[in-house]
Structure 1
Amino acid sequence: MSPPSSPPALSSLSSLPSLALARYRPVFAAPGALAFTLSGLLGRLALAMNGVSTVVLIADRRGSYALAGAVSAVGVLAGAVLLPLLGRLVDRLGQARVAVPAVLAAALPTGALLLCVRSGAPAWTLFLCWALSGGSPDLGGMARARWAHLHRADPAVLHRANALEQSLDELCFMAGPVLGMALCTTLAPEAGLLTARVLGTAGTLLFAARRATEPPPGRAPHRHPAGGLVRTPGLPPLLAVFLAAGVLFGSLEVTTLAYTDALGRQAAGGGLLALVAAGSCVSGLVFGAVRPRRPVARRLALGTGAMTVLMLLPLAAGLSGAGVPLLGAALLAAGSGTAPTMVSGMTLAQRLLPAHRLTEGMALAVSAILVGISTGATLGGALAQHTAPGTGYLLPAGAAALALLAATRLSRRDG
C-alpha cells in the first residue's frame, strides 16, 4: 500500500524554499562567484562588529560613553570621506592593487588605537587613530561592481545579485554586534575590535585573491564632466535617497535603545534591532526572487513608499507606550520595507554611473548612507534626551518620507 500523498497546499509550501534557491542559482553561475561572496562576507562581518566593539572598548577602559560615542562617530565620518577616494583608485588601478595595501595600512592605526586606549594616552590620539582606520576598502561596493560586470547582460539576474548582497549586509548587521559584544564582555574589551580587524584583513585578502571575477580597471576619458561624479544625471536625488535612508537607520537604532532603556528593558534593545535586520534580510531575499516587471526607478519609488508606510508602525507603538513584544512586531514589519528600497537604489546606481567610475560611485552611495547614519544617531540621541520615550520614532518616519520625495522625483525623471 503506497503512502498517502501530501495535500496540494502543503506540497506547494514545502517547495517554496527550493524554488527560491533555484531563482538565485544563476547568480553563482560564474566560476569564483561563490568564493568572492563568502570572503567578502567575512569583511562585512568585521565592519558590523566595529561600532559596538569600539564603543565598549573605550567606555570600559576610559569610563566614558560620551567619549566612546564621539570617537565612533568620527570614524564613521572619516570612512565617508575616504571611501570614494579609495573607490576612485580601485576604478583606475583594479580592486586587488588597491584593496590589499589599503587593508594592511588600516591595521596599523587600529593597533595604535588599542595601545592608546590601554596606556591612557590623551583623548585626541583616539580620534586620530580611529579616523585613520577608516581607510579600509568597501567590500560591499566592490562585490556589487563584480556582479555588475558578471551579469551586465542580464538585468534580472543582476537584480537578484543586488538583493542577495543586501540580505548578506543585513545578516552581518544581525550577527556582528552580537559577536562583538560577546567577545568584549567574555574575553577582554579589546577582543572585539582585534577580532574584527583580523576577520576584515583575512576577508579582504581572500576577496582580492579571486582575480578571475574582478572587473578590469576602467579607462577614463581625458576629461571628466564638470562638477565631477555628483553631476551625473539622476545621481543627486539618488544620493538624497541614500542619505535619508542613513538618517532612518541611525535614528531608529538610537531611538529603540533609548526606548527600551526607559522601559527598564535595556538588554532587549539589541534583540529588537536584530528583528529590524531580520525583516530586511527576509524581504530582500523575497524581493530578489521576484522577477522585476517595472523600471528600476519606479521600483525605487514603490519601495520608499512602502518603507514610509511601514515606519508608521514603530511610531504608533512608541507613542502609545507599547511594550517590547508589540514594538518588536512593529520593528520586524518596518525592517521589511528597507531592503527593497536599498536593492532598487543600488541597481539604479549601477545603471546611472559610468562604467569606468562604478566603484567610486558605489562608495559615494555608501558614504551618503554613513553620513546619514551619523546624523540620524545624533538627532535621535538629542530627541531621546529631551522628549518623551517613543517620540524619536518621528525621525525615521520623517526620513522615510524624504526618501520617498527624492525617489518620486527620480521616477518622474525616468518615467
Structure 2
Amino acid sequence: MGGSYRELFTAPGSVAFCAAGFVARLPIAMVGIGIVTMFSQLRGNYGLGGALSAVFALSYALFTPLVSRAVDRHGQRRVLPAAAVVSATAIVAMLAGVRLEAPVALLFVCALPAGLMPTIGAMVRARWTELYGGTARLRTAFALEAVIDEVCFIVGPVLSVGLGVAVFPEAGPLLAAILLLVGTFTLAGLRKTEPPVHRHRSDTPGVKLLRLPALLAIIAMMVAIGVVFAVIDVVAVAFTAERDAPGAATFVIALFATGSALSGLVFGSRVAHSAPARQLLIATAALSVLLWPLLLAGTVPVLAVLYLMAGCAISPA
C-alpha cells in the first residue's frame, strides 16, 4: 500500500503543495464546529451557534463555484489570496462581534463573506491532475486527497473544540482564519506546480452542465453527505454535553473521520474492478445503512463506536 502512495511524491513540488493544501483546508473543518462551541461556551445557546454555522456553510456552498470559476479564468495565484483575505477578515469580524455583543443580525452579515473561503481540496486536486492526468496514479492521488480531507476532519474539530474549551471560546475560529491565510498564500506562491489557465473560446457553445442527469445525481448525493457532515458535528457536541462529557465531542468526531480515512487508504491502494457508478452506489448505500444505528446510541462510548463505523463509507463515496 505504501509504495503506491510514495510514488506520487516523486514529482517535484508535490510534497510542498500537498502540505500547503493540508494547512489551508483545515479551517473548513474548524469554523462551523468552532462557532457552535463558541456559543455553547459563551451563552449556552446551540440554536444560534448552529444557525450561524449553517449560514456560513450555505454561503460557502454558494460562493465556491464563483471562486473556482475565477480560478479557472485567472489562475490560483491571482484569486486564492484575495478570497482567503476576505474570508479570514469576515471570520475575525464575526468573532469580534460576538465578544462585543453586537446585534445578532450583524453576526449573520459577517458569516456571508466568510463563505468565500477557497475550496483548497479542488485546487490541490487540479495540481495532481496536471501531474498525473490520464495515468493510474491519478486515482491514487484522489484517494490520498480524500484521506487528507478526513485527517483535516480529525485534527480540525479537535483543535477547534479543544481550544474553545481550554483557552477562550473564540480560539478555534480565530486559529482557522490564521491557518487559512498561511496555507493559502503558501499554496498560491508555489507557481511551478500551478495548473495553467485554459482560455475558453467565446464562440464555443457551452455545455449546460446542470442538465446532465449524471451530474444532478452527484449533486444530490453530495448535498445529502453535506447534511450528514453538519448533523454529525452538532449532534456530537450536543450529545456529549447532555451527558456531562463535552470534551468527548472532539474524540467522537475524530473517530468518524478516522473511519473514513482508513477506508480511503484501503480504497486508494486497490485496483478497481467495477464501474465508478457501481462503486458510488455501493458506498452511498452503505453510508445510508450505517447511519441508522446512531439513533440507538444511549451512551458516549456507544456513539463513538457507531461514528467510527459510519465514517467508513465516506471516503470511498
TM-score by structure 1 length? Answer: 0.70
1:253-402 equivalent positions in 2, closer than 5 A: 253-260=233-240, 265-312=245-292, 314-315=293-294, 318-319=295-296, 323-341=299-317
Q: Secondary structure at the match of 1:137?
A: coil
Which one of 86, 91, 115 corresponds to residue 96 of structure 2? 115
What is the alpha-carbon distance in structure 1 between the residues aligned to residue 308 and residue 203 of structure 2? 47
Q: Is 160-169 or 330-339 further displaced after alignment?
A: 330-339
Q: Secondary structure at the match of 1:89?
A: helix
Q: Is 191-200 or 328-337 further displaced after alignment?
A: 328-337
What is the alpha-carbon distance in structure 2 between the residues aligned to residue 258 and residue 195 of structure 1? 23
Residues 239-280 of structure 1: CA deviation (Å, up to 9, x unaligned): 112112222333344445555556555543432222111110
Contact 1:62 1:117 in 2 (8 A): no
Partner amino acid, structure 1, of 2:124:
A
* Equivalent residue, structure 2, for 1:92: 73
Distance 1:233 1:222, change over 3 A: farther
Deviation at 1:330, TM superposition (A): 2.9
* Equivalent residue, structure 2, for 1:141: 122
Q: Secondary structure at the match of 1:239?
A: helix
Distance 1:277 1:55, change over 3 A: same
Which one of 168, 187, 192 corresponds to residue 212 of structure 1? 192
1:144-159 equivalent positions in 2, closer than 5 A: 144-154=125-135, 156-159=136-139
Contact 1:307 1:338 in 2 (8 A): yes
Q: Secondary structure at the match of 1:338?
A: coil
Partner amino acid, structure 1, of 2:315:
A
* Equivalent residue, structure 1, for 2:30: 49
What is the alpha-carbon distance in structure 1 between the residues aligned to residue 304 and residue 71 of structure 2? 41
Q: Secondary structure at the match of 1:311?
A: helix
Distance 1:280 1:91, change over 3 A: same
Residues 209-254 of structure 1: CA deviation (Å, up to 9, x unaligned): 1111111112223257567432346211111121122223333444
Larger radius of gyration between Structure 1 and Structure 2: 1
Aligned length: 317
Q: Percent identity at matched positions?
A: 41
1:37 maps onto 2:18 in alignment:
yes
Q: Secondary structure at the match of 1:197?
A: helix
What is the alpha-carbon distance in structure 2 between the residues aligned to residue 112 and residue 223 of structure 1? 43
Distance 1:72 1:255, change over 3 A: closer
Contact 1:225 1:231 in 2 (8 A): no
Unaligned runs of 5+ in 2: none
Q: CA RMSD in A?
A: 2.3
Distance 1:258 1:46, change over 3 A: closer
* Equivalent residue, structure 2, for 1:198: 178
Contact 2:261 2:315 in 1 (8 A): yes
Unaligned runs of 5+ in 1: 1-19, 342-415
Distance 1:254 1:151, change over 3 A: same
Which one of 48, 55, 58 corresponds to residue 74 of structure 1? 55
What is the alpha-carbon distance in structure 1 between the residues aligned to residue 302 and residue 49 of structure 2? 31
Distance 1:123 1:324, change over 3 A: closer
Distance 1:71 1:239, change over 3 A: same
Distance 1:276 1:64, change over 3 A: closer
What is the alpha-carbon distance in structure 1 between the residues aligned to residue 267 and residue 198 of structure 2? 31
What is the alpha-carbon distance in structure 2 between the residues aligned to residue 102 and residue 137 of structure 1? 6
Partner amino acid, structure 2, of 1:311:
L
